[in-house]
Amino acid sequence: MPSAARTADHFADPRSRWLGEFVPIIGTNSPSSGGPKPAGAAASQTTTPKLTDAADPPCDHGPVDLDLLRSTLEDLGQPRFRFDQVWKWTSEGAKGYHEMSNLPAKLRDELTERVPFSTLTEVRRAEASDGTVKLLLNTHDGRPIETVLMRYKDPTSHPNRRGRRSICVSSQSGCPLTCTFCATGAMKFGRNLTAWEILDQALHLRRIDALDHCVFMGMGEPMMNLDNVLEVCRRLPAVGITHRRIGISTVGWVPGIDKLTESDVPVRLAWSLHSADPELRSDIMPVNDRYSLADVKAACDRFYEQRRKMIFVEYIMLGGVNDSVEQAQLLADLLEPWKYKINLIPYNPTDSVYDGSERDQMEAFRQVLEDNGFNATIRLIRGRDIDAACGQLAAKAAA
Ligand code: SF4
């Protein structure tokens, strides 16, 4: 089959769509000193972000802290169903208490006064020509975080026949794992986000559009903050995102993978692998020195044995670094095609020491995987004109 036709088939395959195209672009706008130089480095491509001032329309501000909401309603002597009423309005996209028409007006005023409607303040909003929306948000203590909404035109593969609305949320402000290709990794690590700060990212995006898919693949390593991530997963069905449409991504934090395996939340697992060569992987992902490929593979296998759900492998294509056919064969030798589905991610080279792989090279890489029996796709690029890669907007704002 000609490669172009094969690509079209991959993009048309609904099985490949739910997680495989969630994250818009991974890249960096911060030159990194630690990683290997790609062969034949080309001039960096620059993009002009389309930024607008945030909060359009404006929301009420500051922590939905559901614990505070519950205790405040108790203080006010309200019946228990009031909490459910407020949460229902909030999870369905209400922009403030003033919209909650089945609450007494006096109670709406009291809540506006005592329970800030969001834990996050919207600082910037960037909208791409393909419908992708990226928000830069600040926590109450000034930590920047990013969250992204991606809109797809694939009505035939989705039950509501309007195309998926996928979100990519952050679990940490910054990240301590310092992968060399990642803008977030180049930022100073802030802290783990609270469950409400993670949930509020989804709620901010829910006020923009109805949602149906979510991946924890934004800033931070979700497995280092798994209790809060799982708390959010339990709430997301109320926002419109069922558990089987939630994916948690990890670079290989083994204790978190094992904890997820033992949890009661039936979400999907994605492994951001990026190289099956141990030495190269340690060069571009220092976490590899802590948890080896074999250790992470064993943890992923345990997840598969327990859940019997295919694991998604994310593989960012760095030109001249990890994109050779030999690297593809190493990847094929490491994994089993019935357990792992592989997503090849075009790299956004903005201002980075790395370049993205050429399309022909990505196709050659994928061909090796397919020859070894894998289902492998090349991800659609989303939001390139708004710096939609993880950490880009926050890094620019901090610069
Ligand atoms: S790729 Fe993920 S784990 Fe690595 S530095 Fe970026 S956010 Fe952290």
Phi, psi dihedral angles at 316 (to 5 degrees):
-80, 135
Comparing 104-113, 360-369, 372-381, which segment has the lowest mean pLDDT?
Answer: 372-381
The CA distance from 107 to 88, in Å, is 16
Spacing, Cα 182 to ligand 1 middle (Å)? 6
pLDDT digits (tens, 9 = 90+) for 141-159: 999 999 999 998 876 555 5
Using a pLDDT cut of 70, give the percent of the chain over it: 77
Spacing, Cα 172 to ligand 1 middle (Å)? 10
pLDDT of residue 154: 72
Helices (H), the chain: 3-12, 66-75, 81-91, 105-114, 183-186, 195-206, 226-239, 254-262, 278-284, 287-290, 293-307, 325-334, 359-371, 392-398
Asked if 282 and 240 count as a contact pair (C-beta separation under 8 A), the reply is no
pLDDT digits (tens, 9 = 90+) for 230-253: 999 999 999 999 999 999 999 999
CATH number (3.40.390, 1.25.10, 1.10.150, 1.20.120) of 66-114 reads 1.10.150
Of residues 64 and 324, more confidently modeled: 324
The pocket around ligand 1, CB under 6 angstroms, is made up of 175, 177-179, 182, 184-185, 219-221, 251, 390
The CA distance from 260 to 266, in Å, is 9
**Which residues sit opposite 270 in a β-bridge?**
249, 312
> Which residues, including other chains, have CB under 8 Å from residue 310's CB and lie 6 or more apart?
304, 338, 339, 340, 341
pLDDT of residue 67: 85
> What pLDDT band is residue 65 in, cutting at 50, 70 and 90?
confident
Asked if 386 and 356 count as a contact pair (C-beta separation under 8 A), the reply is no
- DSSP state, residue 225: G
Of residues 390 and 3, more confidently modeled: 390
pLDDT average, residue stretch 12-33: 35
Q: Where are the domains of the chain?
A: 3-31+123-398, 66-114
pLDDT of residue 388: 54
From the alpha carbon of 185, which atom of ligand 1 is closest?
Answer: 5
pLDDT at 107 over 70: yes
Asked, colleague to colleague, whether 3-31+123-398 and 66-114 share their fold, the answer is no
Spacing, Cα 144 to ligand 1 middle (Å)? 15
CATH number (3.40.190.10, 3.20.20.120, 3.20.20.70, 3.40.50.12280) of 3-31+123-398 reads 3.20.20.70
pLDDT at 5 over 70: no
